Amino acid sequence: MKILFLDQSGKLGGAELCLADIAQQFHATSLVGVFAEGSFPEYLRKRNIPVKILTQQTLQVQKNSGFLAGLKSLNRLIPLITTVAQLSKQYDLLYANTQKALVVGALASLLSRRPLVYHLHDIVSPDHFSTVNRRIIITLANRAALVIANSQASREAFIQAGGHGDKVHVIYNGFNLENYLHCANQREHLQAELVSILPQLEDRTPPFIVGHFSRLSPWKGQDVLIEALQYCPHNVTALLVGDALFGEQAYGQQLHQQIKSLNLEHRVKFLGFRSDIPQLMTACDLVTHTSTAPEPFGRVIVEAMLCGTPVVAAAAGGAVELIDHGQTGWLTPPGDAKKLADIINTCQQQASQSKAIAQKAQQRAIQSFNLAATNLQISQLLSRISNCEINNIRNPS
């Protein structure tokens, strides 16, 4: 099967990691078209996945953009749509992985008469998208042959916004288990390495390391974790892994100001973008997920579970599908810093219980989020779509 995958971002995010894992199995016959150069295309090249940069112009439309912003981007969209339409004639189907890719892919598919598949990685709600963008997503996705949602929460929000439920199949993200289980066997060594780069406490108390893995963005809620630190013992240290993307650099400055005002400079360390996520997660005593709006899936949550590290998440969106509270992790109300601090303190005080919960979570994640099983489900769906399209061409009604 020949597939033209489309993704808007040059940056390597959760949706892009998911796409790379899917495209890997089709690398011999398919192509990933990206709308910008950056860490994502480079990641694909390192994995020998064919990639092509489809435009040199930045598309300015954001999730909260209105109608006028969309009109202003038309002069950049039209040439891109034409390019994709021509290119897609060499492939069996188009696979749009992001919102802007959906816009381009849907219009290109009309011109090339190739079926469109949309991988929905977002909660289509007012928390994440403007009214105009929600209408665009739903209108174009309803024209797709298939919509793959990354959680029940994403599927339900899509339908509530007007999406056709019969088009949507829920397939959770898959993970290469070896990347995480190997690190879990090196926990003590990795913890020792991480502790060595953290500030030493005056009383030599071992740090309790709380990791947060996400781009720096207001809705990802790093400020909630920082606020929670003031209700935790002095040896609780936060590790913030991730950079500000998509014009959100001001939030990073806001976090530094918050840390300074709370006198927590010695308890928070920014590591920026890192590629050694499994190693860092394994070295943490607890991983926190603090999104203040519903999370479509929660890739970080599953990664922490696979590493055998306890995890606490905000109880909204896809996160509630991943964690059984008190059994495989903990759930807290979104934005509630004191409740988050309570969980952090409990994990520190009840280390044996936390370890047992993390081990149970790891087994659950191994069973439920195996990349091989995920890719098999997707491959079967795509084959069905491709075969139906071939039959429609041979036997038009």
C-alpha 196/C-alpha 198 separation (Å) is: 6
Residue span(s) of the chain under CATH 3.40.50.2000 come to 3-174+370-394, 177-368
CATH number of the structural domain 177-368: 3.40.50.2000
C-alpha 223/C-alpha 54 separation (Å) is: 37
**Which of 144, 136, 58 lies closest to 96, judged by CA?**
144
* Chain segment 6-59, per-residue pLDDT in tens: 999 999 999 999 999 999 999 999 999 999 999 999 999 999 999 999 987 765
C-alpha 379/C-alpha 188 separation (Å) is: 39
Strands (E), the chain: 3-7, 31-34, 51-53, 93-96, 116-120, 146-149, 168-170, 208-213, 236-241, 268-272, 286-289, 311-314, 330-332
Q: Determine the topology of domain 3-174+370-394 in CATH.
A: Rossmann fold (3.40.50)
8 A C-beta contact, residue 287 and residue 257 = no
DSSP assignment string, 327-340: TTBEEE-TT-HHHH
8 A C-beta contact, residue 150 and residue 318 = yes
* Chain segment 186-207, per-residue pLDDT in tens: 888 888 888 887 877 777 788 9
Backbone torsions φ then ψ of 153, nearest 5 degrees: -60, -45
Stated pTM of the model: 0.90
pLDDT(382) > 50:
yes
The CA-based dihedral angle spanning residues 340, 346, 347, 349, taken in that order and rounded to the nearest 10 degrees: 150
* Chain segment 117-129, per-residue pLDDT in tens: 999 999 999 988 9
**Which of 69, 75, 72, 119 lies closest to 94, judged by CA?**
119
In this structure, the strands spanning 236-241 and 268-272 are parallel
